[in-house]
Each structure stands twice: as structure tokens, then as C-alpha cells.
Structure 1
């Protein structure tokens, strides 16, 4: 069974909004590119899918936008070609290598996890909360930025049950960012 990993940038005070000042530098963008390339598919809710598409989809002209640095292009290329699944009850269709997931969320995600491959990745705020509440996330990867945002949505706000985690990997970046990967702790009861 391929694991589902929740990966997200987060500030020290738990803010995970994309405008909270957590833009990656070149070193971190290389890290995110490698993470994107090792996942078989990305799982997004509607809001995250539309946000990522507006930022990272290759324009019809075939040229990346002028605002994009050369070191951002490998990430853009990786996400542009990645397989995507979108959980939405309001979208009628998707493109950009995406497929809509409808019906029972738990059943749909469990079916994706049963398919052959190495891993699945989920991003965003709302969908990961629903997946965590159902015990469907196998790994949590928090990329913590040395910033206090003071506002915005916070990481997994509103979870119904506490989830104990075990640290399985840590990576420090020159910028002071720390990437930590956790797995749910095995119950000893």
C-alpha cells in the first residue's frame, strides 16, 4: 500500500496560509521539487488545486512567466506534469493532468492508496484536516519557517482527536527552515 504524506509550509506560530511569508528560497525549492517528483500523484481540495494551477500551470504560450526565477522552473515542470486528484463537490471538470474524486472520501482515498506505486502527497488546509480526522494520513511533513505570521489559517485547526507522532526525519536548511517528517505513533495500549 502506498503511503499518503501531508506536506506543508508552516510558520512557527502554526500559520499555513500561502501568503504568510513562507516563500521558499532556491535550496528549499530544490527540496520541494524532489518531494514532488517522488510522489506518484498529488491530492488536492478545490481551493488548493485552483491556487496551484493558477501559479504553476505552464502557459499556453509554452514559456514560463517572467516572474518565475530559473530555479523555480524545475518545480513548475514537476507539478505541471504530475498526476493530480481533486476532491470537490462543486467543480464539474478538471484538466491539468487532474481527475475529480467524488463520493465517499475515505473509500476513494483508500482505493488510491491500494494502487501500485511509491506514495501519494496531499497539500492544503481543509482536505488534510478531513483526511487526518479519518486516520488516512501516513506521514506528516512540516516545513517550519522561522517566521511569526500572527494571522491566517493554522495547521490542522479543529482536529477531533489528538494524534501522537514520531519523528522519522529532520533536515535543516541554511535559511533556518527545518523540515520534519513524522509518522503516527504506534499505540502501546
Structure 2
């Protein structure tokens, strides 16, 4: 069975985007934090995206290694992003590229099927998609890089749940700029 990991940068008050889908609060990550995310991406066997996150990632990373001033880590991230198989869940787009397949039907059924397969861990991103997986009890690990900023509203990292989810702390780490990473595994 594959492990499903939900991880993103977020504000200290728990938002992945401020009002209006504004992610400017994060600024560029430190080299150390970018490397941490790159290491996570390298370990992933499959990336699952909701539409908004897919549009954000696919607007930059297909050619991120060709951008002026791209660091070696950014070059590697772009290449890894293109090479990693991806699944986009959306009923409003009709085409995806870069080693990606589109699912327009039942996301929970497809994620459940993918989890049952053999293979490396899967990353899931996008608040709506991850929220549905969270409510269905499919998330095995949460990774949160909390930036020291409060935005007061926007798109929350966590969704409303029907029942408690007990977690076990597996890692904490502080990065430059006061970003604190916490990773938790779901206790089943």
C-alpha cells in the first residue's frame, strides 16, 4: 500500500493562500527549505494535484530549469517535476501535459485505488483535493512548513472534519527566516 502525504507551505494561522489566492506572503523559500521540498519530491512516486495547484505548478516548472539565474536545485526540481508521474483531478480542464493524466470522475475512488497499488509515496496538493482525501481518512502524513506571518483568512490548509484525527509527531525543524517544519503521521 502506498503512503499518501499532504504537505505545503502555510502561514502561522494555517492558510496556504491569503484572500484572493495570494501566496505572496511566503516569498522565495530559503535554500535549505527548497532543498527539503526537493528531497520530498525526489522520494515521491506520484503527485496528485487539484486544478488550482496544477495551474500554478504547470505555469512555471515545465521550463523552470531554463529560467535565467535558475539554481542547481531549481534545475533539478524542474527536471524531477517533469519526470514524476502526476494525476490532476478536475472537471473544468480538459488537457494536461508533462507526464500527467487527468481524472474527471470520483477523486476519492481513484485515490483509494492508487493507494492500494505498489509503489513509492504519493504527494497530494491543493486544498480542495487534499480536504476531500482528509475527510475520507486517506492522508497518512502531514508536512507543514509554517511561515511566521498571519494573513487572517484565505484558503486553509486543514478542512473541516467529521471526526478527530490523532497524529504522531515525526519531525520538527527550523529553517532560515523563522520557517518551522512539522511532520506528523496519522495514527490508525
Q: Which residue of 1 aligns with 2:183?
A: 181
The structure where strand makes up a greater share of residues is 2
Gaps spanning 5+ residues in structure 2: where?
Answer: 18-22
- For residues 45-70 of structure 1, the C-alpha deviation after alignment (integer angstroms, 9 at most, x for no partner) is 111111100021127xxx61226444
Q: CA deviation at 1:22?
A: 4.8
Q: Distance in 1 between matches of 2:28 and 2:153?
A: 16
Classify 1:22/1:144 alpha carbon distance in 2 versus 1 (closer, same or farther; 3 Å).
farther
Q: TM-score, normalised by structure 2?
A: 0.88
Q: Is the 8 A contact 1:22 1:145 kept in 2?
A: no
Q: Which residue of 2 aligns with 1:52?
A: 57
**Counterpart pick for 2:48 among 25, 28, 43:** 43
Q: Distance in 2 between matches of 1:65 and 1:120?
A: 27
Q: CA deviation at 1:182?
A: 0.8
SS of 1:58's equivalent?
A: helix
Q: Distance in 1 between matches of 2:26 and 2:94?
A: 33
Q: Is the 8 A contact 1:10 1:145 kept in 2?
A: yes
SS of 1:57's equivalent?
A: helix
Classify 1:184/1:167 alpha carbon distance in 2 versus 1 (closer, same or farther; 3 Å).
same
Q: Which residue of 1 aligns with 2:2?
A: 2
CA RMSD of aligned residues (A): 1.9
Show the 5 A alignment for 1:100-111.
Answer: 100-111=102-113
Gaps spanning 5+ residues in structure 1: where?
Answer: none
